[in-house]
Structure 1
Amino acid sequence: MSARILLIDDERAFCELCSLWLNQSGYEVVSCGDAESGLTAFNQAKQDQPFDLVIHDLALPPSFHPQDGLQSIQHYQDVPLLVLTGHDDRSLAVQAIELGAWDFIAKPVDPDMLKIIIARALDKHSLLKQVSNLEQQLQQRQPDTPDFGLIGNSASVQTTRELIQRISATQVPVFIQGPSGTGKEIIANAIHQGSSRKDKAFISVHCGAIPAELLESELFGYKKGAFTGADKDRKGLLATADGGTLFLDEIGEMPLAMQVKLLRVLQEGSYYPVGSRELEQIDIRLVSATNRDVPSEVQQGNFREDLYYRIKGLTITTTGLEQRKEDITPLVNHFIALYNQQHNTSLSVDNDACRWFLSTPWPGNVRELKNTLESAAAISLNNSISMQEIQLIRGDSAAAVTTSSGQHSEVASDASLEEQVSALEIKLIQQALDANQGNKTHSAQALGITRQGLINKIKRYGL
């Protein structure tokens, strides 16, 4: 099927001649003499036989002023539009391109050049449509997975979300392993909220924060007179979690003697409160977490092997920010929005500070990044967090930072291929957006990708 071209020009002789040229090349041409009738024809054709390309003169009746013609460009964003005018004005051409025109042709028109420009525009637009359709199909195939409070678009975060969605409704124990500050409690709470136990208690216990001699009484509770100071019965955290979810954070720090007693609870669903001979029955789902290498702890005799296999029903592994740098910008945007909401402010993070957050190692992971951002926000004197605030907080560690001249810090030499590709993509996208004053259509053309593809990457990196 031949491509349909809409020609909008007030010179009837030129329309007839141009139609002849293009008909000979196999194109179907419809011509109109003014902007209003051209737009009407374009809109009416959308349902049955839409136009594939528009050639639009800028100097049209009734005003014959090119600036008025520029305002018509916005109505033809779905197809390539070639601007045609007798005004050989470079600034006019630049304005037209900025507003979304595909190309600019000055009269008198060379028919051979016109045919080349049309063929190139149609070919590239067809390719962009195919890529856009494929991207949409890919997005439609992906399940609509909620974020569960996990911010970021890295493969690691997406896998974790998928696992949460799949296992929440089950009763299988869950073991979360990963560095500190990577959201293990958020994952545990998300599993609880997605389960049939969501209306019951979610009890979080940090095993390393409770002294070993108090951990048993805190978990199991005690009877009056069980020990000095036990002047009344007290229900333990196990009983409080009955019917709900018990989250044992840093379970790798639990003393061996307590591990034996916990194993009995998990095996039999019962326990004795301290100082009691009456067996208590409980029904809990266990989610546990640690930043330790538990298999190594088992080999060294620091963790019971039988307990390990009891709690590790399904393992979720979290990764540090060093392995998923593409999540840093979305996290910064999320935390600054949260801070603004909580403190009724309108802070933002300037470009240099954003680059610093991206290039800085975060051994404390998300928790450290959040604390740094909130500290900088707290001392900010303006509506923007800049390197001035960061240097006040971090001192010398913030000295090697990117500058506003466009220089970017290099990716670490030991960074993975994915990290290096992500860093390069961010740099190129930012440069394209800067060069095109934020215009996504022209930035996408400069990068050689579709506009929707650029938008997806901007969302992914939180730019």
Structure 2
Amino acid sequence: MTNGRILLVDDEPAFRQLAQSWLQNSGYQVQTAADLAAARAQLTGFDADLILLDLSLPPQFDPQHTLAALADFSSRPVIILTGHAERQLALDAIAQGAWDFIAKPVDPDLLAVVIKRALNKHQLDTELKQLKASSLDGLNRLIGASAPMEAMRTLIQRIAPTDVRVLVTGPSGTGKEVVSKALHQLSRRADKPFISVHCGAIPADLLESELFGYVKGAFTGADKDRPGLLKLADGGTLFLDEIGEMPLPMQVKLLRVLQEGTFFAVGGREQQRIDVRLISATNANLPQLVKQGQFREDLYYRIKGITLETVALSERRQDIPLLLQHFLELHSKQQGQRLQLDSTALSWFLQRDWPGNIRELKNTLESVAAVAQDGVISMADISLLHPQDSEQPAAAALPANGLLLDDAVQRLEIRLIKQALAQTEGNKSQAARLLGLSRQGLLKKIDRYRLSV
């Protein structure tokens, strides 16, 4: 295992060989180059974490020429090595993005310290970028610009960094697991496991061994120890989907885990300790189940912490075009072919009731996409799978010249961007947060739509 990857750029063969040997003995993976062109070529196949760069390189042997090339290496720290130990040159190098400036002959101990500091900073920057990317990814999965979705994004951003337990409620197919994954991706446990358990899909007599695991000999067929889902979630997030369907005896055992943070595997006598963040979801009315004696009241108060409610698609119909566009983009990536809805098909999707909510919308779109031809979904394609709707005047409310989904989404995005900017008095950062976008993402849309703001 190496401590990092270093590209050494110097025109002196003896120095390159000596420095490469010393760095490799220190645990680094090292490649070398004699000039800027060779350095750029090396970077195409060698993803260096750090660059050691001599200022006087052929063919110009001009320090200013080398400094001008620092922008090409801006994604990683650059340490300047030079025999020109001039104060102004050092200041110019730092001003143009160099991490540090070391005069030759190089002190190996000083170089070791500077390299270690630079690599540590680079690693922190990389982790921060990954964290920001995962945060944006978590929010980007929450498709929609309606008031319920804006409120949901705001709540998720606020509670995700905490360890508070969350109960996600709402009708079937409204994205409860998507909300739960967003909470995980925005949490400090994002790099740890997200373990999903559907409490209603596992038979009652198997649920205990699935959750807690078992030891060898615990029952017939238990020929070796097996960790349960609780142990697999240690350090991360445990998502209990449809927790309202969990059998009462299992509820008692789960309550003990939540109270004490410990459990015993089936057939085991060794107490195991876990640290998990619990997120539960249900489409059932848990308070009603508590009154009926089908769900333990003490467990209900243990899991509810903060309750997030997803709403039916009928309550956020303005999000349907955005959802359709999102699913079409996913389909296009998977199939390698761009797909659109024509005006009649779009109107059919907009006017239809979706009792199965987002799940039904997605599955219906995928089914129709499978029979569409020439990259456009038409009403004729829909009629093949839904003949009862073949005579429906779906496009009556649309312009006579038709309207593709992209056009509808573009109009909606422009309207929402203008509303957000008006609401925030032109503050782009605040408007971006209202829209669930990064500031850069908002600026790109403003530029794409040529909006005057």
Q: Same fold (TM over 0.5)?
A: yes
**SS, match of residue 152 in structure 2:** helix
Matches within 5 A, 1:237-248: 237-248=229-240
Instruction: Tell me which structure has the larger Cα radius of gyration.
Output: 1
The match for 2:256 is: 264
The match for 1:175 is: 167
CA distance in 2, matches of 1:330, 1:322: 14
Q: 1:278 to 1:452 in 2, by over 3 A?
A: closer
1:395 is displaced (CA, Å) by 2.5
Q: Does 1:353 align with 2:345?
A: yes
% of aligned pairs identical? 55
1:432 is displaced (CA, Å) by 11
Can you list the C-alpha shifts for 1:321-350, whole angstroms capped at 9, x where unaligned? 111100101111111111111111011100
The match for 1:233 is: 225
Q: 1:454 to 1:388 in 2, by over 3 A?
A: farther
Letter in 2 for 1:334: H
CA distance in 2, matches of 1:145, 1:382: 31
8 Å Cα contact 2:380/2:390 also seen in 1 = no
CA distance in 2, matches of 1:372, 1:146: 25
Q: 1:370 to 1:450 in 2, by over 3 A?
A: closer
CA distance in 1, matches of 2:280, 2:180: 8
**SS, match of residue 356 in structure 1:** helix
1:394 is displaced (CA, Å) by 2.2
Letter in 1 for 2:311: T
The match for 2:317 is: 325
1:401 is displaced (CA, Å) by 3.9
CA distance in 2, matches of 1:455, 1:372: 35
1:450 is displaced (CA, Å) by 12
The match for 2:276 is: 284
**SS, match of residue 267 in structure 2:** coil
Q: Does 1:402 align with 2:394?
A: yes
1:297 is displaced (CA, Å) by 0.8
The match for 1:221 is: 213
Matches within 5 A, 1:112-191: 147-191=139-183
Letter in 1 for 2:230: L
Letter in 1 for 2:266: V
**SS, match of residue 386 in structure 2:** helix
1:383 is displaced (CA, Å) by 1.6
8 Å Cα contact 2:138/2:186 also seen in 1 = no
The match for 2:192 is: 200
**SS, match of residue 219 in structure 2:** coil
The match for 2:370 is: 378
Gaps of 5+ in 2: 1-135, 423-434, 436-444
8 Å Cα contact 1:146/1:161 also seen in 2 = no
Q: 1:229 to 1:353 in 2, by over 3 A?
A: same
Can you list the C-alpha shifts for 1:153-207, whole angstroms capped at 9, x where unaligned? 1111111111110001101000000011111111111111111111111100001
1:287 is displaced (CA, Å) by 0.2
Gaps of 5+ in 1: 1-143, 409-426
Can you list the C-alpha shifts for 1:265-307, whole angstroms capped at 9, x where unaligned? 0000001100011111111000000011111111111111100
CA distance in 2, matches of 1:454, 1:221: 50
1:145 is displaced (CA, Å) by 11
TM-score, reference length from structure 1:
0.57
CA distance in 2, matches of 1:351, 1:282: 54
CA distance in 2, matches of 1:190, 1:259: 26
The match for 1:9 is: none
CA RMSD in angstroms comes to: 3.1
1:369 paired residue among 344, 361, 364? 361
Q: Does 1:315 align with 2:299?
A: no
Matches within 5 A, 1:414-425: none
8 Å Cα contact 1:148/1:161 also seen in 2 = no
**SS, match of residue 139 in structure 2:** coil
Letter in 1 for 2:351: S
Alignment: residue pair count: 283
**SS, match of residue 186 in structure 1:** helix
CA distance in 1, matches of 2:271, 2:340: 57
CA distance in 1, matches of 2:180, 2:380: 37
Q: 1:383 to 1:298 in 2, by over 3 A?
A: same
CA distance in 2, matches of 1:235, 1:358: 47
Find runs of 4+ consecutive structure 1 residues off by over 2 angstroms.
144-148, 397-401, 430-434, 449-456
CA distance in 2, matches of 1:288, 1:402: 40
**SS, match of residue 147 in structure 1:** helix
1:381 is displaced (CA, Å) by 1.8
1:390 is displaced (CA, Å) by 1.2
The match for 1:128 is: none
Q: 1:160 to 1:345 in 2, by over 3 A?
A: same
1:148 is displaced (CA, Å) by 3.8
Can you list the C-alpha shifts for 1:380-437, whole angstroms capped at 9, x where unaligned? 122210111112122315543413xxx23xxxxxxxxxxxxxxxxxx6xx68998xxx
8 Å Cα contact 2:343/2:402 also seen in 1 = no
CA distance in 1, matches of 2:368, 2:198: 29
CA distance in 1, matches of 2:343, 2:169: 34
